[in-house]
Amino acid sequence: MDLPSELRVGIEAALRGVGQAELRAAAAGLSDRYRAGHGASAGPPGGARYVASPAAAAAYAAYRMPATYAAVAAAMAAMAARMPGWAPRSLLDAGAGLGASLWAAAEVWDDLAAAELIESAPAMLSLGRQLAGRGGSPAMAGAAWRQADLTAPWRAERHDLATAAYVLGELPEAARGALVDALWAHSGHALLLVEPGTPAGWAIIRAARERLRAAGAAIIAPCPHQGACPLPEGDWCHFAQRIARSKIQRAAKGAELGYEDEKFAYVAVAREPGTPISARVLRRPVARPGRIELALCAPDGLRTETVTRSNRERWREARDAEWGDALP
């Protein structure tokens, strides 16, 4: 996956406005924080303190935004595949940061026409607005960026799609459930929650999934069923999305590879069920001589399926299947 070119150019322009030393220091600060376990149960209050300066916002643009964009875009593509007749006209994004979810939604759904973004950090709001100014879609041009603390009372319109990406883990644990409820109440049809693909990120998604199921939401993705999650203790449901890194992003991160793989956990729900799938591929398929092993989550539970060439149709599906894919 590549970043939309306007976003890539915008990030590069933002990085040019910041001194290399300042940017490295800000990127190192973010990096330390994520390595220390973003989404750890302690949940630092308000993200604003981590992205308090324009340099920190620029570092986020280089260091994290491409990866969060990739994760959200992949989750939205999975939603779109299960809701082929539906496209949101409007988006509410909580803890919007630099607007990664807005860019992803505009990429996945051409009809997106309006957006409301809530964020506490002024430096993020300012750079997010600036980046969105480069986007071609009406939703980006007309987006309403609002400063608010999601742990205090906040107001927003109801929108077709509500999202919170890499945000719940930044809130105190006690505030997460209320945000999930509020976002569901503000969603006209669908809600997408994304967290890092770590055990801590998955625990947050799993708790939100249970809460939404209890509220009567239909699970759209990644699960192929509406039941309780069958994953055993110690395992965690997560996926990976590869995203290209530009030269300037590599320099900001001190990285050599031309891409990165973002691991993420997510749940998407809606007010009506999506088109059925027979299973979701939960791990990278393992190809062995004459057979392919698929770790699947299916409506009747978890299973490992060994596919051989004797079943030609299944073999073709298994050969093309990737981690995270839905099997028809």
Smallest distance, ligand SAM to C-beta of residue 173, A: 13
What own/partner pairs with CB < 8 Å and gap ≥ 24 does 250-255 have?
Answer: 251/20, 252/15, 252/23, 252/24, 252/27, 252/59, 252/62, 252/63, 253/27, 253/31, 253/62, 253/63, 254/24, 254/27
Omega cis (within 30) before 230: no
Measuring CA to CA, which residue among 175, 172, 165, 167 is closest to residue 43? Answer: 172
**Least Å distance between CB 202 and ligand SAM?**
16
The residue (of 144 and 287) whose beta carbon lies closer to ligand SAM is 144
Q: For residue 327, what are the contacts with CB-CB under 8 A and spacing of at least 6?
A: 277, 278, 279, 280, 281, 296, 317, 321
CA distance 314 to 166: 36
Q: Which of 94, 95, 91 is nearest to 103 (CA)?
A: 91
Indicate the residue among 50 and 109 with the shorter CB distance to ligand SAM.
Answer: 50
Smallest distance, ligand SAM to C-beta of residue 296, A: 28
Whole-number minimum distance, CB 96 to ligand SAM, in Å?
A: 6
Three-class SS of residue 109? coil
124 versus 229: smaller Cβ distance to ligand SAM: 124
Rounded to 5°, the CA angle 219-223-229 comes to 95
Counted residue by residue, the chain has a size of 328
Separation between Cα atoms, residue 128 and residue 146, nearest integer Å: 11
Of the pair 43, 285, the CB lying nearest ligand SAM is at 43
Cβ closer to ligand SAM: 213 or 245? 245
SS3 content of the chain, % helix, strand, coil (to 5): 40, 25, 35
Nearer to ligand SAM, 34 or 315 (CB): 34
Least distance between ligand SAM and beta carbon 313 (Å): 38
Positive or negative, the Cα torsion across 112, 92, 73, 26?
A: positive
Q: Taking the complex as a whole, how short is the minimal distance between the CB of residue 169 and ligand SAM, in angstroms?
A: 8
Closest CB 82 distance from ligand SAM, rounded Å: 22
Residue with smaller CB distance to ligand SAM, 167 or 277: 167
Under the rule (CB under 6 A), what is the footprint of ligand SAM? 46-48, 51, 65, 68, 95-97, 100-101, 119-121, 124, 149-151, 165-167, 170-171
